[in-house]
Each structure stands twice: as structure tokens, then as C-alpha cells.
Chains A and B, each alone.
Chain A
Amino acid sequence: MTDTHAHYLIVGSSHAGREALAAIRMADPKGRLVMLSREGRMPYSPTILPYVASGRSQPDRVGLADAEWFTENAAELVLNAQVVAVDPAARAVRLADGRRWTYDKLLLATGAEPVVPPVKGLDRVRYHVLRTLDDALSIRERSTQARRAVVLGAGLVGMHAAETMAAAGLDVTMVEMRPHVLAEYFDPKASALIRQTFERHSVRMMMGRRLLWAMETVPGSCRLGLDDGTELEADLLLVAAGVRPAMAMLADSGITIDKGILVDDRMRTAAPGIWAAGDVAQARGFLTGVPVVNGTLPEAVEQGRIAGMDMASDPDLIPYGGGIPLNTYGFFGRHAMAVGTAAVPEGDGIETVTDEGNGQNGYCRIVLKDNRLIGLAAIDRVMDAGILWRLILRRTDLSPVRQQFLSHPLETARALMSRGWR
């Protein structure tokens, strides 16, 4: 036993890691528990970063876990510890600075890292990504000097950032290669409602366009060329074109990877003694059965909890039920949410019922298959996303209440779920 041997070693300090740590400590109060973070700061959530960039959240008040929490959980947090290699045979990890940690059980919860598309000249201009607190602070600083901002990518990170920059008074343009915003969560009609709200707030939405080249104009600013010939000027360029699992450290480890680290329903990787959870993991998709990277915060919490329980041999573990897309989204005072495959088109046994609220009272799209809910997206409607999630995972048969559910999904879902409340 050495100072750098942990019974439980957790790599990554965001939601999956934090949840696993708590779950381990519920089952095993004693085994040495160490969390390695590549950051020099206390743990925080990547989801908070657009709000730090906008100044709404103070960087010193976004902690997911403070020193007291680690003390209460009898766990150690090691900062500035970036894992660069994993050796499953030796049960060891190597850090960027050459330090080495050994473990009995290892959780890889390293999250994701931004994808920077191969655009001509992009490497020679100043651009931002948004995955770390430093990234957010750097955007925040640049926002105070910039007038024109371009956001590349209309996913959640890009949309949040565009909104906060527009609210801060910048002239914002979004460039998205797909025809719709948030296309993985919302169908084209819902996407259009969201896009129109952005347009009403003077965000220029350039959909279905691709960035071809970038070139510096004055230091810090650049000119951007799109595939339709449009040229844009940017004092602040944010590349939010997606993320990919952060698993470079597994290059020579022999651990099976695909788009992410492949895990089973207990979040175990193919290597003995190694688990993975959160944005880095590729776990079973609920509706397809095919392993997918489902990089959302609630899934990270779910997977982290399962990994921690399994690592500590908690007998109460219920294996993973499978992941579905999940998100809630607040924008310009409005509220959108999508649970399950809410964007899937009709046909092939899939029924959809859309309530467009006369264009005034929000929007709701319900997706059913075999009278079971598989997806629901709503804008400006009160919905219990957590209850809908459960109804999907339990494959609740809606046949007896089909009409009520379609006309009053909130009340009917609560009534169905209330049978399990006591």
C-alpha cells in the first residue's frame, strides 16, 4: 500500500464522478477513495459554463462539491491530475506530469471534449470553445471587448452561449450545418419555434450552412466564409460544433472503445476493475438496444450512480435500464423540454400527435409506439419531465388512458405515476 494507491480511483470530477463517489460511500464507508481532476479548481459542471460566460453565474459559486463535502465523504480530491494513460494489467494510470496512481477499481468519468471541425485557416485565428471554466472566463473577458460574435453549431452549448451573448448586447450570428436547431431533441416545428424566438431577439440564424474558411483581420478578430458565399466578421468566434468522448488516454490500453468507451448495464468496461460513466461512456440505448453515447447530465448522474454502486458491490444496484435523450431547455424566459425520441418522424409503427396551441399557447408533440410513450417534446407547457422519463422506461401501456393522455399529458402522467407514489 502506497500513498498513490486507491481502492477506488475516480478519474473526472463532474456529475458522473461525483455521483459515483457518493454511491460508493453509501455502500463502503472505508475503502480509500480518490478522485483525480485534470482541473486546478474545485469540481463544477460543464452545463453551467454558458452562464459563467455570460456573467450570470459567479465562477466561485458554481461548485458541485466543496472541500467539506470531500471530508464528509472521506474522499480525497487530487487537482491538476490529468490522466494520459491507463494500464489495465498493472492496474495503474499515468498522469501528464509523470505521476502514477494504482487502483483496485477505476472509474473513467472523463467526460467529453470539444470537436473542432477541419476548417481552412481556423487554426490561425483566435477562436473559443466552451468546455472548461477557463474557457468560459476567457469568453466572458472577450465579450466585454467584442461587438460581433459568431457561434458555430446550434446544439445546446451554442444556443445557450448565443442567448447569453445576445443578452449582453453583442451582435450574434449562429451558423449551423443542419437545417434545424437542437435537431437531436426537437422535431422541425419545435425547432422552428425556438429558432424564431432567437431571431426575435436579433440573433441571426444561418441554418444549413457550412463554414469553409477563416482568416484573421485584425488580431483577435476574423472573417469567416460560408458555403453559400456569405462572409461574416467576428470579434468573438465560438466553436460549439459538438463534443466527443475524452478517451485519448485509452489509446494503448486494450479497452474496447467505439464512439465512446463501451460499457455493460453495470457500467463495466471490457477490462476487469474498470468502469466508465457519463459523457465518455457508450451504454445501451433504451429504445434501440444499441450502445450509444448519451451525453446528457441526467444520464451522467444515472450512470455514475450505477457505476459507484457496482464498484462498491452494493446489493441494491438495479442495472441500467438504457439511455434515452433527455433535456430541458430555458431560453429567453421560455421553457422547452424533450424526453425520449421526440424528434423522430411518423411512420413505421410510430404515431405522433402534435398540439400547436393555435400558435399562441406553446407546443407539445407526443410520440407513441404500440400505445407506449417513446418521446415527448414541449415548449411553454408545464410537464413533469421526470415522470415522463419513468413512463417511457417502464413501457407503461397507455391504451386505457390514451385519449386523456393525448389531451392532458401532464395530469394523466401524474395520475399514472401516482399509483407508485405510496
Chain B
Amino acid sequence: MPSQDTIRFIPERCDGCGDCMTACAKAKGGASRISIVGSGGGGWDIALCRQCGDPKCVANCPAGALDKHYGSGIVGWSQDLCVDCHLCTIGCAYGGIVFESAAGHVQKCDLCDGTPACVPACGKGALEHLSAAARLHETHADKEDLFVPGLSACQGCNSELLIRHTMRRIGRNSVVAAPPGCIPGMGTVGYNGQTGAKMPIFHPLLTNTAAMLAGVKRQYERRGKDITVVALAGDGGAVDVGFQSLSGAAERGERILFICVDNEGYMNTGMQASGSTPFGSWTSTTPVGTVERGKSTDGKYLPQLMMGHGCAYVATASTAFLDDYHTKLEKALAASRTGFAYLHVHAPCPTGWRFPAAMTTEVCRRQVESNFVTLWEFTAEDGLRFTHAVDRPRPLSDYVGMIGKYKHLGNAEIERIQASVNRRVAFLKGFCRQPSAAE
């Protein structure tokens, strides 16, 4: 089933003003199809058609008047075929299809043909029209999945998602290096003589990934072959012991793409701290006790260091914003034909950071929405550009509070992290060539 557009509701931003309902009623003429609901305790929610993937209103319709359009994703309603039996309303647990006596028939949201009127009407930013997944699907669904099934990644790990998306895009005409870390640990390179990817992939040392890839690339170039050469490394293999060869290859302008998948530590070997581990984090080498309170220093911010290497392209990414990642992957691949390209992808680790496996994408999203993670790209010509500027960041506690490795932190420590987040955002803004949306 293809991915489809949706309207996202952010309850913390809703104040129940009802402007969305007014806009809907105006756009549709009659009763609003979106309904703000007091959810108790002063909170708000919306009764709105979810455009379900397997809609029960459709199953309950005896007249064929409701229909799920698998292209647009919209559950459509035909006035022509409807017989006003209202059985569809029994199927919906979201208040998404309702009989309106003024209209004389049931009504439901149809996403206004792709430009929902309610979304811009919300002055609080509580509604967002999400269509990225649909576009991504159209672009990438037909490409071959080059990652084998049956991997041994931890439940909830977003690296698998990232690797599948990346491999689909780069295709078979590629060579991938996966140095020691979670990525080969989950079977990417293979086990017992079986390969884990349907493309040439090898397992360099933690220290020499960029150097080996540079040699592979040069050899192919010498033979006149245009091969995509990519590293899928962890933060240990990039920020710490891998940094020397990475820095050297970047400085020399080797024509490779280096992707760092940053889970803020050595999660594969028992959750030891790395140079990338942020202040306050519990790890097995930065324990929490009466004296130590997790990591006592800030993490090293490698993407910023890479800006100082004369790379052809540097960018950060999050798997909660895969459309943004794909755009950057395109640019990075193009840049790797002329020089060194570096992508830094944030990879929250349910096992090592201690949060429920089902929450990974929400953790990714909150990292970005709190500015703990900033999404940007940098080239020497155009400077730094924020690709998902967050105008109204969430409080950092929304993010930190979800993560077990921070659960010992008090307010003062969270404020310290907040201050370093604010400093980093201000610092990065200094690299913007033109005024950006973040300012």
C-alpha cells in the first residue's frame, strides 16, 4: 500500500480557538468536517477522518458510496451513490464521518484535494499537512531493496530504515564500507559467508574506512569506471578513532560519500561513551552514582568540524524527516563526483538510550523539534542553510524526558543542555550566507 498524505495534529499547540473549523466550514460550505474536541484536563484533540488504510466505514457501506483511493489515500464519498443509511458512522471510532442534518447526509474530510483549508487557518501551528511519505513512495517504491530480510538489528533501530533507503537509492553500481559497529553487527556485511546486502560491501577497520574507500574509488577511476563509493559508519568510526582517516580523506577531496550514523556511543559493544555522547548521558563508561552523573562533558559535534574541511557537501539528517534525507542524499551523491561529501544522520538507540522501541521515530522528531538536532546543509559557496528550521522549538525536556539515559538529570543539568543547544543554534546561524527561516 502506498504512503499517503495526512493532517497531523499537535495537541500542545492547540488552544481550542476553532479557526480550523471556521475555515473548513467556509471552504466546504456547511458544517466543519474537522472538530476540535476538549479531551479533558484542559487539553484538545480533533475528531477528523484519519483516511484509514483499511477503513471500516468503507466496509460498512452497502451502497459502494465510500471508497478508499489507493493513489491519493483519500477515503472518498459519493453523494450520488449514498443512500443515507449512516452505517458508515458505526464503523468509525474517530468521529471522522458524521451525519449532518443541515446537509442531510454524512460528511467527511477529503483533504481539500491536497491543500487542506484548515492547516493554514491554524495560527498556532497545531495542524500540519504531511505529504512527504506519499512523495517518497512514488519516487522510491519501485527501486530494488538491496538489504536482505531477517536482520538482527535491535527492535526499534532506525539504522535499518536508513540503510534500506540509502541502498535503494545508490543501487547495485556501488561499493559500501561498513566499519565495526552496529551496522555490520546487525548483519549488513553478512554472517558465516552469507552476504547481508545485494551489492559489494566490505568491512574495513574502525580506523581506516575513509582511507580504504578512497583507494577503492581511485582504482575504479583509474579503470574508467564510475562507481558510487559510500561509507556507512557509526560515530565511533567517524568521531573517534576513525577521525584521522576521515579528516585526511576530506582534506584531500577524495570523491566519496561518508555517512556517519550517530547513536552517540559504542552501542554495539556494550554502550560505552564515544566522543559524540552528549553531556549528562548515562553510558556504561559514564555511569550514574553518587559522584558521577553521567557524561561530564559535551559531545563533539562532528558535522561542524566537517565544515572546516573544504568538503563539497556537508549535511545533517534525521529519519523522522526522510524526505529531507533523500534530498540531501541526492546532493551528497552528486557532490561525491567532484569532492568529499559528508552526511551526519542521527540514530536514537532504544537499547542503549533506554526508550521503548516503538518510539524511535517520535524520539527523532522531538530531537529536531526541540533543536537538539538541527537539520542543515553546508557548501563553501552557499554557506549553511537550515532545511527544517524550527521556529518554535519544544522545550528540551519534551525530548530528554523520553530517554532513559537522561532520567537522573535534574533541572539544572537540563538547563545546561538547553544552553548548549541554544549556543549551537546561534553558532550555526553564523554560517548562514543569506537570512534563513530560522532567523
Query: Which A residues lie at the B interface, using CB under 8 A?
Result: 15, 18-19, 45-48, 51, 56-57, 61-64, 297-298, 301, 305, 326-330, 333, 335, 337, 339, 380, 382-387, 389-390, 401, 411, 414-422
Contacts and interface: CB of A to CB of B under 8 A. Distances in A.
Given A48-B62, A384-B47, A297 B100 contact: no
A419 B45 CA distance: 9
19 contacts: A15-B59, A15-B60, A15-B62, A47-B85, A62-B64, A64-B62, A298-B60, A301-B56, A301-B60, A328-B86, A335-B86, A383-B89, A384-B93, A386-B90, A386-B95, A387-B95, A411-B38, A420-B93, A421-B94
A298 B90 contact: yes
6 closest A-B pairs by CB:
A45-B62, A47-B62, A328-B86, A418-B45, A330-B84, A386-B92
A271 B47 CA distance: 44
Nearest to B43: A418
B83 A57 contact: yes
B226 to A, nearest CB: 39
Interface in B73-112: 81, 83-87, 89-95, 98-101, 104
Contact of A297 (B62, B64, B92, B101): B62
A61 to B, nearest CB: 6
Nearest to A382: B98
A386 B57 CA distance: 9
A47 B64 contact: no
A402 to B, nearest CB: 14
Given A15-B62, A326-B90, A383-B89, 20 more contacts: A18-B59, A45-B62, A47-B85, A57-B63, A64-B64, A298-B60, A298-B90, A301-B59, A328-B89, A328-B90, A335-B99, A337-B90, A382-B98, A382-B99, A382-B100, A386-B89, A389-B90, A414-B45, A415-B38, A422-B45
B86 to A, nearest CB: 4
B98 A328 contact: no
A415 B36 CA distance: 10
Nearest to B40: A415
Nearest to A46: B62
A325 B275 CA distance: 63
A297 B95 contact: no
B37 interface: yes
Nearest to B57: A386
Contact of B86 (A305, A385, A401): A385
B190 to A, nearest CB: 28
B376 to A, nearest CB: 29
B89 A297 contact: no
Contact of B37 (A57, A326, A333, A414): A414
Contact of A47 (B87, B89, B101, B104): B87
Interface of B: 9, 11, 35, 37-40, 45, 47, 56, 59-60, 62-64, 81, 83-87, 89-95, 98-101, 104
Contacts, number: 123
B268 to A, nearest CB: 30
Contact of B63 (A62, A419, A421): A62
Nearest to A362: B101
B191 to A, nearest CB: 26
Contacts of B84: 330
Nearest to B99: A335
A380 B86 CA distance: 12
Contacts of B37: 411, 414-415, 418
Contacts of A47: 62, 85, 87
B92 A56 contact: no
Contacts of B95: 384, 386-387, 414, 417
B64 A61 contact: yes
A45 B88 CA distance: 14
Contacts of B92: 384, 386-387
B85 A333 contact: no
A61 B65 CA distance: 10
Nearest to B86: A328
A55 to B, nearest CB: 12
A48 B62 CA distance: 6
A192 B92 CA distance: 29
A316 to B, nearest CB: 11
Contacts of A45: 62-63
A337 B86 contact: yes
A389 B40 CA distance: 20
A18 B84 CA distance: 22
Contacts of B86: 328-330, 335, 337, 385
A47 B85 CA distance: 9
A61 B64 CA distance: 8
Contact of A417 (B56, B89, B91, B93): B93
A51 B87 CA distance: 14
Contacts of B45: 414-415, 418, 421-422
A36 to B, nearest CB: 21
A380 B94 CA distance: 20
A131 to B, nearest CB: 13
Contacts of B56: 301, 386
A305 to B, nearest CB: 8
A387 B93 CA distance: 5
A199 B337 CA distance: 82
Contacts of A385: 86, 89-90
A414 B90 contact: no
A156 B120 CA distance: 44
A305 B59 CA distance: 10
B294 to A, nearest CB: 31
B397 to A, nearest CB: 19
Contact of A386 (B11, B64, B91): B91
Q: Give the most central of B39, B45, B64, B87: most A CB within 10 Å.
A: B87
B98 A384 contact: yes
A335 B90 contact: no
B349 to A, nearest CB: 24
Contacts of A305: 59
Contacts of B59: 15, 18-19, 301, 305
A57 B81 contact: yes
Contacts of B89: 328, 337, 383-386
A387 B90 CA distance: 8
A387 B37 CA distance: 13
Contacts of A328: 85-87, 89-90, 99
B87 A48 contact: no
Contacts of B83: 48, 51, 56-57, 330
Nearest to A335: B99
Contacts of B100: 382
Q: Give the most central of A57, A339, A386: most B CB within 10 Å.
A: A386
Contacts of A416: 40
Contact of A418 (B39, B64, B90, B99): B39
Contacts of B98: 382, 384
Contacts of B85: 47, 328-330
B64 A419 contact: no
Nearest to A408: B38
A122 B45 CA distance: 58
Contacts of A390: 93
Nearest to A384: B95
A14 to B, nearest CB: 9
Nearest to B80: A61
A333 B104 CA distance: 7
A415 B39 contact: yes
Nearest to B95: A384
A330 B87 CA distance: 10
B84 to A, nearest CB: 4
